[in-house]
Structure 1
Amino acid sequence: MTNITQQRKIVTEVPGPRSRELHARTTRAVSAGVGIGFAAYIERAGGGLLTDVDGNELIDLGAGIAVTTVGNAAPRVVQRVQQQVADFTHTCFMVNPYEEYVDVCEALNELTPGDHEKRSALFNSGAEAVENAVKVARSYTGRDAVIAFDHAYHGRTNLTMALTAKSQPYKQGFGPFAGEIYRAPMAYPYRWAGGPEACAEEAFSTFVAQVHTQVGEQNVAAVVLEPIQGEGGFIVPPPGFLGALAEWCTRNGIVFVADEVQTGFCRTGDWFACDHEDIVPDIITTAKGIAGGLPLSAVTGRAEIMDGVQSGGLGGTYGGNPIACAAALGAIETMREDDLVGRAREIGDILSLRLGELAERFPVVGEARGRGAMQAIELIAGGDDHSPNAALTKAVSAYAQTEGVVTLTCGTYGNVIRFLPPLDITDDLLHEGLDVVAAGLEKLA
């Protein structure tokens, strides 16, 4: 258990003098291309709190962008990592393999949706997982085209930048990008022109027609989609849209890839977001919450698809590093033993209630949405004017941060505040953090 008292505490202004000193060093040593949203430098963390170098105790509503799902320094993760470091740190699985890699792959094959035979391969980052999923799909189908969606975020490598929809800051100045990537409209109920009730049917019909006329189904290797879009704004597609896509892919011999990098591992109140509608993807990509904060990602898919790649076609020097694998085994054990699926649903109930109240109270909150411990509010000009309000979003998030609450923004238009608390946060801390956000809206809206 963490020895950090689970109470927000502000002892200096935030960021404090020591953090400001470190930030001055950062500007002299670190590329300006590495953006920092909240320059309170952390020295330890646990539960729902981050302790900065000035002694401030900050409520964590971001979990390192959905990474520390099991909490920071979770005991089972720490124990396994310490033992693995003492045993050995690296051999490269492709040179001298080790059991921990196999253990993680077996767990993924068991936990991911579907009871068919599966295979997995391990990598380092979410982007690397998505890129390898596309490689696998192209190898298996012999086709080139890949369909992604508006508002998508899939990573920062060249191929995943091509899949990502948002230009600034992720793509600006970094082209040319990988070819044979096509984009379709996302089923975004709040902003669908025909209204939320028509969104699922109309979005799917538009997708089918657009792919048929602009690409050709016979040329498509994969459709890549986040079951709940993350960086794009926590967009939850209407019921039926994912299922229709998956069925269409099956009919046309196309690999359906579910990017569950942010949604996976209990975050949405199921092991994976696809579980909510019993969607069984051909390939699922995972990262973030998989290993309690250590860098690890995976591609898991149908055995015949994953085994269709030539030997040596997948891999990497650090992919499935033994320390990261040990952390993943500790994280998965924690999720199972502590019923973090159930805990995510409890957190989801609190978030749904509190964020729904904000939507009723403040006309600038256009919509509260999400599932489980992955929820958000979209801020607008107000009332009937649904224009994105990025300035207010930035101001409310900054207010919360100076009051000791770590918040994250997102959205194609920069007008969404997202909530991704670690699943070991207490109810009291969660409510207190949301109180601060509400106070920010009250003051600034």
Structure 2
Amino acid sequence: MTSLAGKSVLLIVGGGIAAYKAHELVRLLKTRGATVRIILTKAAEQFVTPLSLSSLSGEKVYTSLFSLTDEIEMGHIQLSRSADLVVVAPATADLMAKMAHGLADDLASTALLATDKRVLAAPAMNVRMWSHAATERNVESLKHDGVSIVGPNEGEMACGEFGPGRMAEPNQILTAIVEMLKPRAQPLAGKKVLITAGPTREPIDPVRFISNHSSGKQGYAIAKAAAGLGAETVLVSGPVSLPIPPGVQVMPVETAQEMLDICEGEIPVDIAIFTAAVADWRVVTESSEKLKKTGGAAPNLTLAENPDILATIARSAKRPRIVVGFAAETEHVTEHAVQKLEKKGCDLIVANDVSRTSGVFGGDRNTVHLVSVSGVEDWPNMSKDEVAQKLMERLAQMLVPQQKAVE
């Protein structure tokens, strides 16, 4: 029986009939030696009492964001960050919607927004609520943000309906908690990883630019995975609307030249991964004023080729030990990637189809092909987070033999 001695869990109990299972979950956690602090939502107090949970946990139960006494004893920021893991059980449809959209109008939602720790949610709701498009969007958003989900199970509901939506049993939640609190391998501890992500913007005039549809999601997912494996992670990012991954240093840029300058300033590094969709061309002379319609011919824009960031870094005297490029293609995906591997001088190319029908640009899933001198390895369709984790674990494995050879 794995001990959780020395571990602290913040349990947030949402307002659903499954809230009664929180008693058993607290008991199981205490049996393993964990410290359990509890936040009850106002709705949860309709199903369970602070007294019963306080008796089981041996700790004060928190219910109000505006309690002066509670804020003095344990402010909500400290409460949200003092735990090793935050568990939401039951995670109702309302509470998950608040989590997904960053709402903070009570103690539970405020603590969830303020925490810098990993979060595990155990959904519990009516089957129709669980299958609703809004809930599906919220769940995908939470997964993208790094929230782990356990359950729900299928079964009979309190309302008499049958299907998925029953909260996972306390022993299942405990198993997920134990797994999440295991010491995480840090194979990239002491290593530095450089990643580029997103599009670049090449100005035409003060209001227009050349760019593309890259969302930056895959690059940001890779940065998150690299930091999770212990690497010092620098993310050189074009203009995107994404939250900064924990433990990642983000350096924002606009143009290809700015991106290259930053990258050259950051090397040497152990691994460099170039996921950014860099504009191939820029306007030679940017207009200082907005170009106007004249009723005649369109303005004649003279274009120049942008610097090749991947090739430049791969051929640098301070070349990273492993250089990975991305090939965003719309046809002959692997063939073009093989050519790019030879042309750019990198170690690996991650090729993917970014045609309109693929849904990769802006989407949350990706189907990639890992191209090396050894051949092409086709990966199944996965979430971008899963692609990122698998790629970084592979690169960590590649780095170890290189390090041993050097030693």
TM-score by length of 1: 0.29
Between structure 1 and structure 2, the one with the greater Rg is: 2
Structure that is richer in helix per residue: 1
Higher-strand-fraction structure: 2
